[in-house]
Structure formats: structure tokens, C-alpha cells
Chain A
Amino acid sequence: MEGLHNFLKILTQPDNVPIIIMMVSVLGYGWLGVKQARRNDREGIFEATQSDKVQTWPYLVKVEFLMTIGIMIMLTVWSITINAPLEEPANPTLTPNPSKAPWYFLGLQEMLVYFDPWIAGVMLPTFILIGLIVVPYIDINPKGNGYYTLKERPFSIAVFSIGFLILWVALIVLGTFMRGPGWYFFWPWEFWDTHRVVALTNVDFFEKFGIASKNVDGSFNLLQVLLGGVMVISFLVGIPMFIWEKYKEKKPVLREMGVIRYAITAALFMMMVGLPIKMLLRLALNIKYVWVFGVGHDLFFNI
């Protein structure tokens, strides 16, 4: 009961209201899009029958005007009823627990659990941005341009939806509502105990098979470096290369893409699916890293 009470308190914090709005609106609008896509796939492209011209005044301006009124009413009511938070004055000597980034970055903060900061906090966000920008150049499917459809571009819609709904929105929700003190995982019915002690049972992947990550003197175990490297590189590079070699003759789409587009797409895609795989390994099997390796003093591949 105490836990649920605690959860309700977090749920109704002023700064968490936007997250509720995000969840509801993403699901609602997503449903609206899927509904139209299914209709288009079933009965023909509805928008194509709507491509005659109408006058902007009043037909479009009317919609914008109503939308403006609606949003302004919503903002006014929201601003009157809920006050923006203002906590104690800034105190650099007193760290709150948990310390959280602004809510829209909590998906990125969640990734810090699974990888080193230079990978999770710098490289992956950079790849997300680059990946988004190159989307139009690697998606060469000419269909589905300007209307809702699922059938004509199932792969691209599935990839983007998984990335957006699960790896972005769901991780924000997880980071906000289920990450408590010490960034430990708490179920909604659990109380956020600041003094929770969690045994560190995470082990590296090959330690499960009796291969230590490091030698007694602290240097890297060469066998583990080799096996881990083979595993990670074959995941990121080997699988895409295998698919290319096996299917480039059979699948015309691969030929049309060309090797450069395919390489970029595959690299981004494997990194994207790598994240949930690593999360699953950590959360379900307590695996810390798959590959523990470092060069010099400051370049570490803890993946």
C-alpha cells in the first residue's frame, strides 16, 4: 500500500503530467494513423481522392484557428490548475537521490546502465540523430509517399515504430516511474527506499562459462577479449555481411539499395536492435558486459 501511495505521488508530480500526456497522445494518434493505414490498404488510398484544391481561407485557416483556440484553452486551464515545480535553492553540496535528467532525456539516461558513458551518452545519441537524418536517403521504397499505409512499407514502419514507441517513449516512462534512488528498478507497488541495498550479482558474459574478463594482475584476459570481440563484431558486421552475401542475388531490393546504403542501414539497424538485446541480457540474465576490452588508458569497449 505504501508503495502504491508512493507511485501515485510520483505519477501526479507536476513535471510528470507531460509524460502522461505523451503516453496518451502517442497511443491515440498512433491508433488514428494505423486506422487510416488499414483503411488505405483495404480500400485504396483515400487521400488520393482528396487531392483537389480548396481555398486556404476559410478551409485550412478554420482548422488552424480551432486548433489554436483548443491549445490555448488547454494551456490556460493547465497553467491555472498546476504550478510549475520550484524546489529548494540550488545546493551543489547536496545531491538528490535519484538525480534525473529532464524527462525527455531519461531514455538516454537509461542507456547509461548498459554501456559506458562515451558509448551510451555520446555515440548512441549521435547515431540516433545521424540515423534519423539519413532515413530519406536509405529508404528507397518509392511507395507510401504521402499517405498512411502499412502494407506497402512494413519494414520501415516497424523499425521506426519500435525505435520511437519502445526505445524512446517506453524508456522515458520506465526512467520516470520505475527508476528510483540509486537508479534501481522499482515496481509501481514498491516503495522508493533510499537505503535499498542490492547485491551486485552481474557478471560478464564469458564469466558464466568460467572465462574471467581480467587476469589476476588486472590485465585483460586475451581469450575473453578474443571471444567477446568476435561475438560483438560478428553481431554488428558479420550478420549484415552474411545476409548481403546470401540474399543479394535473390532479393532485388538489396541490389537496388547498393552496398553503401545497405551497409549504413544495417549498421544503424544492428546497433538499434543491439540495445534491447543488451537490456534483456542485463535485466533477465544479470550479464554485465559481453566484451570487456580497453586500449591504452582511456579507450574502453565495455559492451
Chain B
Amino acid sequence: MKLPFIPPKPPPLDRIRKDVTQNEVWKSIFRHSYQDNQRNRALQIVDNVFLHLHPVRVTRHATNYAFTWGMGGTTFLLFIVLTITGVILMFYYRPTEAFAYNDMKALMNDVSFGPFLRNMHRWSAHLMVITVMLHMFRVFLTGSYKPPRQFNWGIGVILLLLTFLLSFTGYLLPWDQLAIWAVTVGTNMARSVPLQGSEGPFSNYLGLRPDNDIRFILLGGTQVGEPTLLRFYVGHCIFLPFIAATLMAVHFWRVRKDGGISGPVVDTKASAGAKFIAEKMSIARLGQIAGKTTTNGNGKAAPAKAPVKSLADAVQAASPNPATEATIAAKSAPAAGTNASTGAAPVTAPAGTAGKPLPPWLKKT
């Protein structure tokens, strides 16, 4: 005998959802609904203290991983990972000669998830050095340090240095052979600083000795010892992260103020449509100049009056587009550069575009 199939009664999802969301507590936390519409997408960014680092809208190429490599964001992520794991590690570590190494041993052998915690801290630190370098490489390759982002590039260089210093001060803390000798090799350089190190130029005239030079200030002694451990510990956990976080705030703020994630500098209202029309018009205009120029009284070439045939022609007749003019100028005289300080260098069509078929993405638009 076959039993008839009785479908289970669906749970009253709508009622549950209503009960959960239609009350004062929920509404006090979440200020908008999750219905997918433009307004909620914008509020999602604006109403969230962490996400509102972003603008509500970004250029399309800023979401292209191949363009940004995601290295700036990854570096920030690693900084957060390092802060969290680092703070937890501080519970298990005392920066003194008597305890430091034993605490590391205890961390690796006795503490639950101790090795995992320490490994994640160390590997994140190494990875952060790599991602910072790659971020710099990408920013250079795309010329993103150019106006108006010159100052932010400088901040970035300081942040690169701070990343090295953070990693270097952390290197000493395990207090094993690897740590003290790597730091000894590194800090020996301070002996040779001109005017400040005991073995640097002019040290004799200034009476610099190993016990009163800049290395002594750095190490708190004439060799890497307990005072060095404490200095590096405080520098690693408080001083350098504080400076780095402050400069990161400036760095991110300047990214926003300088126009978001860098992109081609277009001197029209940056949009694909404007760009497309500019390209079309420049090609049309070039053809015009090449074919139908007449000479006016001053001996200068002037474009012939052609009957208005297309939209592009109409736009051109109404307002000579600066992008078009600049494109033509760049084509006829490659050396004529735009003023660098204005930062409004027009994007020129690549040499030889005129007459050639357009690339596929331009055709599609």
C-alpha cells in the first residue's frame, strides 16, 4: 500500500521575519531594509562606519582585480590581522631576558592554539612586507603617483619604511639566536651614521663613543640586551603601530580626496560615453583636416565648413571638445606637453588610431 504524499507545511517565514525585524530593537540597530535597490546599496556604505571609508560609487575599473591587484586592501587586512593576533600574543609574553624566550617556548608548547597564533602573526608580517612592495610596484606601473597624488605617494613611502621597522622590531622579540643576531647586524649600521654614530664620519671630532652615540640610544646599551628588548617591544607594540595607523588614516583620506582609486585622467566628465564620443569626434575631425582644409588669410589652416551630417559633427560644431583639440594637438606635435601642474593631462588616443578599426570594447559601447 502506498501512502499518499503529504507535503510538509512550510514554516511561516514571513511571520518570523516580521517578528524579528518589526520591533524597536532591530530597527535601532539596522537603519534600512535589505531590499535590493539603489538607495539601500548606497545606505549600506554610508550607514556603516567601516564601509564608509569607500565612496558610495566607484569607477568600474576600480573593481577590476587585474588593474589594482588588490594589494593596498590586502596590506590593510594584514595590518588588522597583525593587530588582533599581536594583542592576543601580548597576553603570553613578557619582554625581559628572564621570561621572553621561556614565554615563547610556553607559547609553542603549552598554550592552546599558541603556535597557530604566533605563526599567523609572523607569516602575516612577512606577507605584509611583500604586499606593500607589490602595491608600490602597481602604483608605479600605472603612474598613479602623478598629479594630484604626489603627496600621497610620499606618505606611502613612509608607510613602507614603517612596515620594515615594525617587522624589524618584531624580529627581536622571540629572543632566540636568530632574533638577536639579525637585529645586531641591522643595528650595527647605526654605528656608521655620519655625525651621530661612533664609527661614522666626524665621530672623532664630536667625541662620539659606543656609549654615547645614536646606536646607544637605539639599543639602550652598547650591545643588544635587555634594554633593547624593552625598547623594541614598546616600539613594536605601541609607538610604531600608532604612527603607522595615523599615517594610514592620512593615506586613505588622501586617496578619497585625490579622486578615489586612480584611473586615466580624462578632462571631460569622466564617463565611457564622453570618452567614446571624444574618440569618434577626433577621428572625424582628423579626417576633416586631412581632406578638406582651406587656408585663410593668415596662412593658417582652417577646417572647411562641412555640412552637419552626424551627431558627432553637431556636437563638435556647437562646442569644440577640449579632449578632441588636445588629441589632435598631441598627434600633430608629440612634444607639446600639457602643463603638468594642472594634472589635467588629456587621455590621447593611441598613435595611429585614426583610420584603424576600433577595439572591440569601443565598438560594443
Q: Which stretch in B118-126, B285-293, B314-322 binds the other chain?
A: B118-126
**Chain A nearest CB: distance from B238 CB in Å?**
21
Known: A44-B359, A60-B62, A86-B174. A104 touches B167 (CB 8 A): yes
Interface of chain A residues 11 through 69 with chain B (CB within 8 A): 15, 17-18, 21-22, 25-26, 29-30, 32-33, 36-37, 40-64, 67-68
Known: A53-B58, A104-B164. A118 touches B192 (CB 8 A): yes
**Interface membership of A71, Cβ < 8 A:** yes
**Interface membership of B186, Cβ < 8 A:** yes
Residues of B within 8 A of A91 (CB): 177, 180
Residues of A within 8 A of B118 (CB): 84
Residues of A within 8 A of B347 (CB): 45, 48, 147
What's the Cα separation between A15 and B266 when bound, in Å?
45
**Interface membership of A79, Cβ < 8 A:** yes
Interface mask (A92-134 → B, CB under 8 Å = 1, otherwise 0): 1011100111111100110000001110011100000100110
What's the Cα separation between A55 and B122 when bound, in Å?
36
**Chain B nearest CB: distance from A252 CB in Å?**
5
Across the interface, do A49 and B365 meet the contact criterion of CB distance under 8 Å? yes
- What residue of chain A has the Cβ atom nearest to residue B153's Cβ? A136
Interface of chain B residues 248 through 272 with chain A (CB within 8 A): 262-266, 270-272
- The majority secondary structure among interface residues of chain A is helix
Residues of A within 8 A of B56 (CB): 55-56
Interface of chain B residues 207 through 265 with chain A (CB within 8 A): 223-225, 262-265
**Interface membership of A249, Cβ < 8 A:** no
**Interface membership of B276, Cβ < 8 A:** yes
Across the interface, do A136 and B146 meet the contact criterion of CB distance under 8 Å? yes
**Interface membership of A154, Cβ < 8 A:** no
Residues of B within 8 A of A297 (CB): 204
Q: Which stretch in A138-146, A184-192, A236-244, A266-274 binds the other chain?
A: A138-146
Across the interface, do B143 and A146 meet the contact criterion of CB distance under 8 Å? yes
**Interface membership of B64, Cβ < 8 A:** yes
Residues of A within 8 A of B279 (CB): 44
Across the interface, do B177 and A90 meet the contact criterion of CB distance under 8 Å? yes
**Chain B nearest CB: distance from A265 CB in Å?**
14
**Chain A nearest CB: distance from B260 CB in Å?**
10
Across the interface, do B123 and A79 meet the contact criterion of CB distance under 8 Å? yes
Across the interface, do B54 and A56 meet the contact criterion of CB distance under 8 Å? yes
Residues of A within 8 A of B26 (CB): none
> Which of B74, B143, B275, B349 has the most C-beta atoms of chain A within 10 angstroms of its own C-beta?
B143
A49 partner, pick from B189, B194, B275, beta carbons under 8 A: B275
Residues of A within 8 A of B136 (CB): 164
A32 partner, pick from B54, B69, B149, beta carbons under 8 A: B69
In this complex, how many residues of chain B approach chain A with their Cβ under 8 Å: the count is 127
**Interface membership of A210, Cβ < 8 A:** no
Across the interface, do A43 and B350 meet the contact criterion of CB distance under 8 Å? yes
**Chain B nearest CB: distance from A302 CB in Å?**
12
**Chain B nearest CB: distance from A61 CB in Å?**
7
Across the interface, do A32 and B38 meet the contact criterion of CB distance under 8 Å? no
What's the Cα separation between A69 and B179 when bound, in Å?
31
Across the interface, do B194 and A51 meet the contact criterion of CB distance under 8 Å? no
Interface of chain A residues 216 through 264 with chain B (CB within 8 A): 252, 256
Across the interface, do B81 and A75 meet the contact criterion of CB distance under 8 Å? yes
**Chain B nearest CB: distance from A39 CB in Å?**
9
Across the interface, do B55 and A56 meet the contact criterion of CB distance under 8 Å? yes
Across the interface, do A53 and B201 meet the contact criterion of CB distance under 8 Å? no
Residues of B within 8 A of A18 (CB): 123, 126-127, 129-130
- What residue of chain A has the Cβ atom nearest to residue B119's Cβ? A79
Residues of A within 8 A of B105 (CB): 86
- What residue of chain B has the Cβ atom nearest to residue A163's Cβ? B140
Residues of B within 8 A of A176 (CB): none
Across the interface, do B123 and A75 meet the contact criterion of CB distance under 8 Å? yes
Residues of B within 8 A of A117 (CB): 188-189, 191-192, 199
Known: A92-B225, A144-B143. A51 touches B340 (CB 8 A): no
What's the Cα separation between A61 and B202 when bound, in Å?
55
Across the interface, do B77 and A94 meet the contact criterion of CB distance under 8 Å? no
B338 partner, pick from A43, A48, A142, beta carbons under 8 A: A142
Instruction: Please name 28 pairs of A and B residues whose Cβ atoms are closer than 8 Å in the assembled complex, sorted by A.
Output: A18-B126, A18-B130, A44-B350, A45-B264, A47-B263, A48-B263, A56-B51, A56-B54, A59-B58, A60-B62, A71-B78, A78-B119, A79-B123, A80-B119, A84-B123, A90-B179, A96-B177, A100-B181, A105-B168, A118-B194, A118-B199, A118-B201, A129-B157, A136-B150, A136-B153, A145-B265, A146-B143, A157-B140
Known: A54-B59, A84-B121, A252-B335. 4 other contacts (CB 8 A): A51-B61, A58-B41, A108-B189, A147-B347
The 3 A-B pairs at the shortest CB distance, nearest first, are namely A142-B345, A136-B150, A121-B189
Chain B positions near chain A (C-beta within 8 angstroms): 38, 41-42, 44-45, 51, 54-67, 69-70, 73-74, 77-78, 81, 101, 104-105, 108, 115-116, 118-124, 126-127, 129-130, 133-134, 136-138, 140-147, 149-150, 153-154, 157-158, 160-161, 164, 167-168, 171, 174-182, 184-186, 188-189, 191-194, 197, 199-205, 223-225, 262-266, 270-273, 275-276, 279, 335, 337-340, 343, 345, 347-350, 353, 358-359, 361-362, 365
Chain A positions near chain B (C-beta within 8 angstroms): 15, 17-18, 21-22, 25-26, 29-30, 32-33, 36-37, 40-64, 67-68, 71-72, 75-76, 78-80, 82-92, 94-96, 99-105, 108-109, 116-118, 121-123, 129, 132-133, 135-137, 139-149, 153, 156-157, 160, 164, 168, 252, 256, 296-300
